[in-house]
Chain A
Amino acid sequence: MRELCFITVGNAEIHFILLFSRQGKLRLQKWYTTLPDKEKKKIIREIVQIILSRNQKTSSFVDWKDLKLVYKRYASLYFCCAIEDQDNELLTLEVVHRYVELLDRYFGNVCELDIIFNFEKAYFILDEFIIGGEVQETSKKTAVKAIEESDMLQETVEEYMNKPAF
């Protein structure tokens, strides 16, 4: 019971987003509610198991504790969001889809490896799109532009090394 209460104390529309592979390997996790690490790990394990055990042709929604999981599989990756009961499931699916589109536009035909090797970029894109569990930018163009511009500011570590910084 205590565990349940704990989760309700979240305050965002989207409580967390998880990306994991078909083998159950976590690729990205973003939490919009604060939970202790131990709790997070437990939740991740549980959710990955629930979703992987579901048939492919079933609906994209699963009740989980007092939250709802909305997930979708793109190629080998599962994208999963946890939302509250009153929140709109289809809209959340749309959020997931939009995120995939953004990744696609940024990486150009995104695949799992892109996300593995550039995981920080995947986070940056997510941060431009969703903030504190709320969608902040509904326009794809603006979001991608923001990321590209801030990338311009960021010199890669390699570049930095190549510069004679002394």
Chain B
Amino acid sequence: MALKMVKGSIDRMFDKNLQDLVRGIRNHKEDEAKYISQCIDEIKQELKQDNIAVKANAVCKLTYLQMLGYDISWAAFNIIEVMSASKFTFKRIGYLAASQCFHEGTDVIMLTTNQIRKDLSSPNQYDTGVALTGLSCFVTPDLARDLANDIMTLMSHTKPYIRKKAVLIMYKVFLKYPESLRPAFPRLKEKLEDPDPGVQSAAVNVICELARRNPKNYLSLAPLFFKLMTSSTNNWVLIKIIKLFGALTPLEPRLGKKLIEPLTNLIHSHSQHRDLTGICASVSVLISLSSGMPNHSASIQLCVQKLRILIEDSDQNLKYLGLLAMSKILKTHPKSVQSHKDLILQCLDDKDESIRLRALDLLYGMVSKKNLMEIVKKLMIHVDKAEGTTYRDELLTKIIDICSQSNYQYITNFEWYISILVELTRLEGTRHGHLIAAQMLDVAIRVKAIRRFAVSQMAMLLDNAHLIASNAQRNGICEVLYAAAWICGEFSEHLEEANQTLEAMLRPKVTTLPGHIQAVYVQNMVKLYASILQQKEQAGEKEAAQEITQLMIERLPQFVQSADLEVQERASCILQLIKYIQKLQIKEVPVAEEVIALFAGELNPVAPKAQKKVPVPEGLDLDAWINEPPSDSESEDEKPKTIFHEEEQRHSRHRQPEIDEEELARRREARKQEQANNPFYIKSSPSPQKRYQDTPGVEHIPVVQIDLSVPLKVPGMPMSDQYVKLEEERRHKQKLEKDKKKKKQKKEKRGKHHRHNSLHTESEEDIAPAHHVDIITEEMPENALPSDEDDKDPNDPYKALDIDLDKPLADSEKLPVQRHRNVETLKSPDSEVPLVEKKSKKPKKKEKKHKDKERDKGKKKEKEKKVVEEEEEEKKKSSKHKKKKHKKEKEEKSKDKKKSKKKSHHSEEEPPESVQNGTLEDEPLPVSSCAQTYDIQGNLQNDSQVTVSVIFENKSTSFLKSMELNVLDSLNTKMLRPEGSSVHDGIPVPFQLPPGISNEAQFVFTLQSIVMAQKLKGTLSFIVKNDEGSTHEKLDFKLHFSCASYLITTPCYSDAFAKLLESGDLHMSSIKVDGISISFQHLLAKICFHHHFSVVERVDSCASMYSRSIQGHHVCLLVKKGENSVSIDGKCNDSTLLSNLLDEMKETLSKC
């Protein structure tokens, strides 16, 4: 009976499971939101229950709601509860919910660390699997750091199911915690040869993804992958490997040659049976082939052939991929693709937008001087036909891209281009008005010869502004008016009907344009006005001049009333100016000269990023205050200065400072020189203006005739087609001329007269431009740096993974293992051994040797350390049983984690460089209860401190406690004691030692001078506790601070080294050691290892070496090896330090 009752109540709680919820939502289509909010209320109730099954059910429902778009982040804690359920049923749901809704910002995520660790080490592989899957979705940098070691262990799990997942998740860990890459990589590499194909393919996957981002670090794996490629039968793996090779071949050309045969075989075998993955593979083969082999025309031909088949296929997917692959080949072999122009143009008509876009990409690379007009014409037709605005915009940008690419390289006729731009302004609703405007400005400024034509076109645009600006606010095309106004104003001398244009600009309709355009209008109408004024005055038409002034005064007030500040300001300024001019005019004073002087001077285009490329002069601190900032009270009164529009600033008149003639001449000369060396600079004829007049065809552009026949078009707008025809005629004529000349040449074959101008070479490609275009190069400031490196994205997440993987691991590179931190109580924060790798600190050649040694030493330490860890493991296990304590411990751990976070953060900011001293001094012990090993580490951050790490090992069978270390300070060297303690107080060692255990403690010493070696006497006092009771014991020892321990291995380049030697403020000293039998190589390694030097340069049996002391002394060595002897010449800022160092060196060397 009781059971029934309980069950009944559960049934009530369970009145809705997931299926019910889904069904309910489907049945409440009209009031879904209401129904769901009701459900969420129920779920909230369910989550309050203690029964984990009820909670899991609720979380499951929440996950469904999350998918529908409801926020469930409020239940994050409940999800964690369900995750930590012991039953797989619930755990699975918990992890699913977590993977769906947790992200880096979820604050409770840090609570999961221990739960996940527990699940990872669960005996049930599906528990582990579910934890790994979940982790892959919400891994954070913290989780990655804390769990890296656990996951790495799982990579060698007995079950392939786990290994496979662990390998894949390792990639996520690398991304979040790049320091883990080097320690984990050897194991990852092992997995490439795992017996299980799933694990193998996972490892290939991960390495491929890593290599794709930083290929150069993975070149050494190429042979292994080559083997895999030839042996693998799995298409998925094969494709990945090929992709990897695609990234590697550009770096190693020899690889390409080796690959060519197996890859061609693959293509052939795959085209035989048309399976999808097969084709897939061959497509990626094709792509990687093309990127790898710059001069293998046969294979490229094969690729292009196969691609053509793909593109002609009726399957849209294949067509798309064919085009995509084609565009990759285009980058390296434009010629071989260009022959398929017909096919690609055909694809432009495809009804699938994706395919059309791909075809457009291809066109971009296929244009030449010869076919540019044709291609653009075709594109213009598509612009007219295109229905969607996105596609039309895409077309528009492509047209502009194609035409303007590489400094207008392919444009032979700029009139044609201007008319294309003008035609594009007819596009309605495009977002790219500013693009067209920018092009107009650019062309008009940089191609001098085109200005007259451009101005006439722009005047027409201004005249027809009402068409463009009809729905000005809605579309961006009115931006072109900005360009039009500016061009007409700036180059007003070319304007034929200036009066008319001025009137067009003064129309009331203009005030509906956006503010920044109006502002440009106002500014440029003055320019126009000035030039008209000049014209009239020169012609002696005083009346007309006064009329135009009157017109300005009448119309300008409409701009003065503008709501836009910029317009208002300019207009009122100019209105006053013109009123003043009017006064002068009435007095019959000639004013035109002075008005025109307002706008004198030539404008030059400035190269992009020009400012950025000027190096900051030495001694200039850009962040320093020029004037101290005013106090707050003052700044309140100050009003912000006028805010300019960005556009305004860009085009605001950049006045040339007054420069004397000489300087000008010099600069001109320099520029000419530069232009002469610039292959892209089309040289100007001696007087471009004159030449312009001479050129046939340009003068007679039938601008006025065209429009009448085409009533639909904007009146007065030119048709680019006209120019295409004209251009064709011109080319034809040119060709004829050329032929004639050729004949002539043949006739006077023997004539010793000069050969024909290089401009008219025989090549078909080389079509001479219609008129000599003078593309002004963009100006660069003097002494600008030529670098282009500023394009790199500093936020690239893959940058952190650019790590050299071939270097042997250093001691410090270990994955963090959770353990108690004994050194925590230490006073000096910088004594922490940093996780940061000590890479590039030591010269490469020697590296292996002493790294090995270091590793040996490291191993010793490792052994000792491991013992401690094990002990702690035990502790942990026991604490697990004590469930009550569990929570407390958790808290502690999280505290611990926080601390460690702080630490690692600290070490990231300023990695303390550590040096290890090899000296080892074991004092024989009477009771042999304790042994010490120590390291002395110099600290770059603090030039008068060294850290001594001491490893204590308990060799006795008794328990050691209350250890205290004391040192007899010398004048020079003192142990850093906590404040308030006297010189005679020892420092307690922060741990106790059970028998057979060792542990490490660190002590900081301060030094006055480092030029001499030091020896300090010290005592360690401790209490020995055993069954018989406890006794107080003492142990004396000596600490030896050698001079070499103050040196820090610092790499130095030979040029810096030479400069250092030249500087002359170094003292010199030398030694000679006889009876040396070891090889020079070995000898250098010894010096590097024991004395912390790095090799700068080595020539035969002579080497220069460098090191630096913690106090910044430079030490340079020249080591020469003769027959059985070595001479060392040293130079150093301090002669005592040098002689001491050399003595130490002598001692080391005489031992060998």
Residues on A facing B (Cβ under 8 Å)? 5, 9, 11, 13, 26-32, 34-37, 41, 44, 55, 57-63, 86, 88-91, 93-94, 116-117, 119-120, 123-124, 127, 131-132, 134-139, 142, 146, 149-150, 153-158, 160-161, 164, 166
Contact = CB atoms under 8 A, between A and B. Distances in A.
B243 A124 contact: no
11 contacts: A31-B137, A86-B243, A88-B280, A120-B63, A131-B169, A132-B137, A132-B171, A138-B236, A153-B88, A153-B124, A154-B92
Interface stretch (B65-73, B297-305, B716-724, B1138-1146): B65-73
Which 6 residue pairs across A and B have the least CB separation, nearest first? A90-B280, A59-B316, A132-B136, A58-B352, A59-B320, A150-B126
Nearest to B169: A132
B202 A136 contact: yes
Interface residues of B, number: 83
Given A36-B103, A134-B202, A120 B18 contact: yes
Given A135-B201, A153-B88, A160-B53, 11 more contacts: A58-B316, A61-B354, A62-B353, A88-B284, A90-B280, A120-B60, A132-B136, A134-B168, A135-B205, A139-B198, A150-B130
A157 B53 contact: yes
Contacts of B57: 157
Contacts of B197: 138-139
A127 B317 contact: no
Interface string B683-723: 00000000000000000000000000000000000000000
B239 A88 contact: yes
Nearest to B7: A161
A37 B71 contact: yes
Contacts of B17: 157-158
Contacts of A161: 7, 10-11, 14, 53
Given A94-B280, A131-B168, A161-B14, A136 B198 contact: yes
A157 B15 CA distance: 12
B239 A137 contact: no
Contact of B164 (A13, A117, A137, A149): A137
A3 B132 CA distance: 30
A9 B797 contact: yes
A61 B103 contact: no
A138 to B, nearest CB: 5
B236 A91 contact: yes
Contacts of A157: 14, 17, 53, 56-57, 89
A117 B205 CA distance: 33
A41 B70 CA distance: 10
A59 B89 contact: no
Contacts of A123: 96, 100
Nearest to A155: B89
B69 A57 contact: no
Interface of B: 3, 6-7, 10-11, 14, 17-19, 22, 53, 56-57, 60, 63-64, 67-69, 71, 73, 87-89, 92-93, 96, 99-100, 103-105, 124, 126, 129-130, 132-133, 136-138, 161, 164-165, 168-169, 171-172, 175, 197-198, 201-202, 205-206, 209, 212, 234, 236-237, 239, 243, 276-277, 279-280, 283-284, 316-317, 319-321, 324, 351-355, 357, 795, 797-798
Given A90-B283, A117-B22, A136 B354 contact: no
A146 B161 contact: yes
Contacts of A132: 136-137, 168-169, 171-172
A156 B317 CA distance: 42
A164 B124 contact: no
A51 B394 CA distance: 19
A156 B7 CA distance: 17
A150 B129 contact: yes
A26 B243 CA distance: 33
Contacts of A59: 316-317, 319-320, 352, 354-355
B164 A91 contact: no
Contacts of B69: 26, 41, 44
A95 to B, nearest CB: 9
Nearest to B320: A59
A4 to B, nearest CB: 12
Contact of B236 (A26, A37, A135): A135
A61 B320 contact: yes
Nearest to B69: A41
Contact of B276 (A28, A36, A94): A94
B248 to A, nearest CB: 14
Contact of A116 (B6, B22, B93, B283): B22
B201 A138 contact: yes
Contacts of A135: 201, 205, 236
A93 B277 CA distance: 9
Contacts of B6: 166
Residue of B6, B237, B280, B798 most packed against chain A (CB within 10 A)? B280
Contacts of B168: 131-132, 134, 136
Contacts of B206: 134
Contacts of B99: 127
A42 to B, nearest CB: 11
Contacts of B202: 134, 136
A144 to B, nearest CB: 13
A134 B599 CA distance: 63
Contacts of A32: 136-137
B277 A90 contact: yes
Nearest to B140: A34
A154 B90 CA distance: 8
Contact of A91 (B14, B124, B239): B239
Nearest to A19: B67
B209 A13 contact: yes
B232 to A, nearest CB: 11
Contacts of B172: 11, 132
Q: Which of A123, A156, A158 has the most CB of B within 10 A?
A: A123
Contacts of A158: 17
Contacts of B239: 88, 91
Contacts of A91: 236, 239, 277, 280, 284
Contacts of A37: 71, 73
B795 to A, nearest CB: 8
A124 B137 CA distance: 13
Contacts of A5: 795
Nearest to B275: A94
B175 to A, nearest CB: 5
A37 B63 CA distance: 14
Contacts of A41: 69
Given A41-B69, A90-B283, A137-B164, A55 B797 contact: no
A60 B324 CA distance: 13
A100 to B, nearest CB: 14
A13 B175 CA distance: 13
Contacts of A137: 164, 198
B93 A120 contact: yes
Contacts of B3: 164, 166
B124 A127 contact: no
B200 to A, nearest CB: 11
| Interface hub of B56, B317, B798 (most chain A Cβ within 10 A) | B317
